[in-house]
Amino acid sequence: MFDSVLIANRGEIALRIVRACKALSLRTIAIHSEADADLRHVALADQALCIGPAPSRQSYLDMDRMITAARLTGAQAVHPGYGFLSENAAFATALRDAGLQFIGPSPEVMALMGDKISAKAAMLKSGVPCVPGFDQALPDEVGELERIADAIGYPLIIKAAAGGGGRGMRIVRTRGDLRQAAQITREEAGRFFGKEDIYLEKFLEHPRHIEIQVLADAHGHAIWLGERDCSIQRRNQKLLEEAPAVGIDRQRIADLGQICVRACLDIGYQGVGTFEFLYENGAFFFMEMNTRIQVEHPVTEMLTGVDLVAEQIKVALGQPLTLTQQCVAPSGHAIECRLNAEDPWTFAPLPGRIQAWVAPGGPGVRVDTHLYPGYEVPAHYDSLIAKLIVHGSSRQQAIARMRVALSELMVDGLATNAALFAALLQNGDFQAGGMEIAALERLLATGVLKQGGSV
Ligand code: ADP
């Protein structure tokens, strides 16, 4: 049990968590770096503490400072948000050792799902469909490596077992490229993720990214809350998410949801989580599980009316789920656009000071943001500045509402990628729905979006 929560994050998600905690009458403690003293949630939290300089390594990624901050402020629980330490099993262990409650699954489950090789093994055991591949750490020896790869067939993708954020992956199209690709990925894996283990699986040429939201308590109850289609990506990073997924049989998705629920119970999962799948030719293939709240969680909240962050906290408080699978009735259509402080066409980050900021409104429109006029977007962190989320009774209405919302949005002093979304919403392929992951980059390469896109 706890009645105070330290928010180990920044930006829009830290604000989102402060709001959820306050609604549950929990005391909130904001921590921040020297660059972030002016953040909105810092002003709104019951207490705030600066924990270090701007670079994340010395602030938001520093476990010792987090734990010291919790001790100094008397916090009893820690909400990790997304990114930073949110999927770090060592952090969850350190909190447990310090007598603090981590708002998320157990460190053991985080470690199991944080390593893509052990995650895949656990999922196969629970009957979750996975991308065909060699589901152990790859050997060094070239002959053996070639035999394994030949048996699966090209093209292949080599991945770091501990990888994340779209990094530590390499596509291999021919046998001749295998050895070098394995070598480079192994080096990167060691350098970026501190673990050299790599594995390989079939590379799917035209997949969509479909994910299932789950929620599980500590009393053996788990439910799924629909899917999200996150196929609109650039460089393996999501830009626009929507639900429900267009053109996929509802029963197939419901079956997949039930499989995910069973897998949660099998591994002893607690809290909110997301099973990520590739979808190609009518089949789903598990990629990984995110053991935390995700950026795109509002899409599901708009569709179901469930406050996922509040549910996550209640589970950590030891409360049994009051929601049953029958209560979850997604309705209508929701879309989220990730507004980034970046050039819409080159994706180069463009930090700066907000001179004017007017958020859109109206029925079915939600804006999750920490921005306000005068706020300076620091260069040290992710470029996400706001999430525009709309809900409509149909996909067509949701698209129309997003179009209006984008036209109302006013950001002065900072460049954003709003023009990209405005152009995309007008594009025929997007309007038809069901675009594959690679489609946005193909459209960008042709230049059609840029020509058509002004807000
Ligand atoms: P990360 O943990 O870095 O997010 P993922 O394993 O989730 O890595 O993969 C990120 C993205 O890489 C996917 O959304 C997809 O675009 C691409 N990808 C990953 N595995 C495959 C695969 N087997 N075939 C095709 N694309 C893949």
Domain ranges, ordered by start, for the chain? 4-103, 132-202, 208-450
Atom number of ligand 1 nearest to Cα 437: 16
Atom number of ligand 1 nearest to Cα 168: 3
Atom number of ligand 1 nearest to Cα 203: 24
Atom number of ligand 1 nearest to Cα 287: 6
With a pLDDT cut of 90, the percent of the chain lying above it is 96
User: What does residue 416 show for φ and ψ, rounded to 5 degrees?
Assistant: -130, 170
The pLDDT of residue 6: 98
The CATH number assigned to the domain with range 4-103 reads: 3.40.50.20
Task: Give the distance (Å) from ligand 1 centre to CA of residue 164.
Answer: 9
Six-digit token pair at 272?
């909110």
CA angle 64, 68, 70 (to 5 degrees): 120
Strand duo 208-216 + 222-234: pairing: antiparallel
Task: Give the distance (Å) from ligand 1 centre to CA of residue 223.
Answer: 25
Which has the closest alpha carbon to 34: 412, 376, 352, 349? 376
Which has the closest alpha carbon to 152: 134, 140, 138? 134
319 pLDDT higher than 50: yes
Task: Give the distance (Å) from ligand 1 centre to CA of residue 437.
Answer: 10
Average pLDDT over residues 355-374: 97
The one-letter amino acid code at 253 reads: I
pLDDT band at 454 (very low <50, low <70, confident <90, very high): very low
User: 109 or 1: whose pLDDT is higher?
Assistant: 109
Say if residue 447 is exposed, middle or buried (CB neighbours under 10 Å; 0-12, 13-18, 19+): exposed
Which has the closest alpha carbon to 299: 339, 243, 254, 381? 243
Which has the closest alpha carbon to 97: 67, 60, 57, 66? 67
Considering only CA atoms, which residue is closest to atom 21 of ligand 1? Answer: 203
Considering only CA atoms, which residue is closest to atom 6 of ligand 1? Answer: 287
The one-letter amino acid code at 320 reads: P
The CATH number assigned to the domain with range 208-450 reads: 3.30.470.20
Task: Give the distance (Å) from ligand 1 centre to CA of residue 114.
Answer: 14
Which has the closest alpha carbon to 171: 200, 148, 198? 200
The CATH number assigned to the domain with range 132-202 reads: 3.30.1490.20
Considering only CA atoms, which residue is closest to atom 9 of ligand 1? Answer: 166
User: What does residue 159 show for φ and ψ, rounded to 5 degrees?
Assistant: -130, 150
33 pLDDT higher than 60: yes
Task: Give the distance (Å) from ligand 1 centre to CA of residue 442.
Answer: 17
pTM of the model: 0.96
pLDDT band at 451 (very low <50, low <70, confident <90, very high): confident
With a pLDDT cut of 70, the percent of the chain lying above it is 99
Average pLDDT, the chain: 96
Considering only CA atoms, which residue is closest to atom 11 of ligand 1? Answer: 236
24 pLDDT higher than 80: yes
The pLDDT of residue 135: 85
Task: Give the distance (Å) from ligand 1 centre to CA of residue 153.
Answer: 18
pLDDT band at 452 (very low <50, low <70, confident <90, very high): low
Which has the closest alpha carbon to 100: 72, 129, 124? 72
Strand 198-202: give its sheet, edge to edge: 133-134, 198-202, 156-160, 169-172
The pLDDT of residue 455: 44
Atom number of ligand 1 nearest to Cα 209: 14
Average pLDDT over residues 217-229: 98
Residue whose CB lies within 8 A of the most ligand 1 atoms, among 231, 278, 288, 441, for a mutation test: 278
Tell me the three-class secondary structure of the chain, residue by residue. Answer: CCCEEEECCCHHHHHHHHHHHHHCCCEEEEEEEHHHCCCHHHHHCCEEEEEECCCHHHCCCCHHHHHHHHHHHCCCEEECCCCCCCCCHHHHHHHHHCCCEECCCCHHHHHHHHCHHHHHHHHHHCCCCECCEECCCCCCCHHHHHHHHHHHCCCEEEEECCCCCCCCEEEECCHHHHHHHHHHHHHHHHHHHCCCCEEEEECCCCCEEEEEEEEECCCCCEEEEEEEEEEEEECCEEEEEEECCCCCCHHHHHHHHHHHHHHHHHHCCCEEEEEEEEEECCEEEEEEEECCCCCCHHHHHHHHCCCHHHHHHHHHCCCCCCCCHHHCCCCCEEEEEEEECECCCCCCECCEECCEEECCCCCCEEEEECCCCCCEECCCCCCEEEEEEEEECCHHHHHHHHHHHHHHCEEECCCCCHHHHHHHHHCHHHHHCCCCCCHHHHHHHHCHHHHHCCC
Average pLDDT over residues 339-368: 96
Dihedral angle computed from the Cα positions of residues 240, 243, 244 and 245, in that order, rounded to the nearest 10 degrees: 20
Average pLDDT over residues 368-386: 96
Active-site residue, selected from the candidate residues 208, 228, 292, 395: 292
pLDDT digits (tens, 9 = 90+) for 60-95: 999 999 999 999 999 999 999 999 999 999 999 999
Considering only CA atoms, which residue is closest to atom 22 of ligand 1? Answer: 203
Concerning whether 96 is annotated as a catalytic residue, the answer is no
Residue 184: CB atoms within 10 A of its CB come to 13
The pLDDT of residue 165: 78
Rg (CA), the chain: 22
Q: Distance between CA 190 and CA 195 in Å, rounded?
A: 5
Q: Distance between CA 323 and CA 325 in Å, rounded?
A: 7
Six-digit token pair at 187?
């080096």
Considering only CA atoms, which residue is closest to atom 17 of ligand 1? Answer: 236
Q: How many CA atoms lie within 13 A of 263 on its CB side?
A: 31
Is the Cβ–Cβ distance between 120 and 276 less than 8 Å? no
Atom number of ligand 1 nearest to Cα 133: 23
Considering only CA atoms, which residue is closest to atom 12 of ligand 1? Answer: 236
Which has the closest alpha carbon to 200: 190, 187, 186? 186
The pLDDT of residue 153: 96
Task: Give the distance (Å) from ligand 1 centre to CA of residue 440.
Answer: 15
Is the Cβ–Cβ distance between 244 and 194 less than 8 Å? no
Task: Give the distance (Å) from ligand 1 centre to CA of residue 207.
Answer: 10
Task: Give the distance (Å) from ligand 1 centre to CA of residue 236.
Answer: 7
Ligand 1 pocket, residues with Cβ under 6 angstroms: 131, 157, 163-167, 169, 201-204, 207, 209, 236, 276, 278, 287-288, 437
Q: Distance between CA 188 and CA 166 in Å, rounded?
A: 13
Residue whose CB lies within 8 A of the most ligand 1 atoms, among 170, 287, 290, 436, for a mutation test: 287
pLDDT digits (tens, 9 = 90+) for 109-157: 999 999 999 999 999 999 999 999 998 999 999 999 999 999 999 999 9
pLDDT digits (tens, 9 = 90+) for 400-422: 999 999 999 999 999 999 999 99
pLDDT band at 235 (very low <50, low <70, confident <90, very high): confident
Considering only CA atoms, which residue is closest to atom 16 of ligand 1? Answer: 236
The pLDDT of residue 101: 98
pLDDT digits (tens, 9 = 90+) for 267-318: 999 999 999 999 999 999 999 999 999 999 999 999 999 999 999 999 999 9
Average pLDDT over residues 45-64: 98
Considering only CA atoms, which residue is closest to atom 10 of ligand 1? Answer: 166
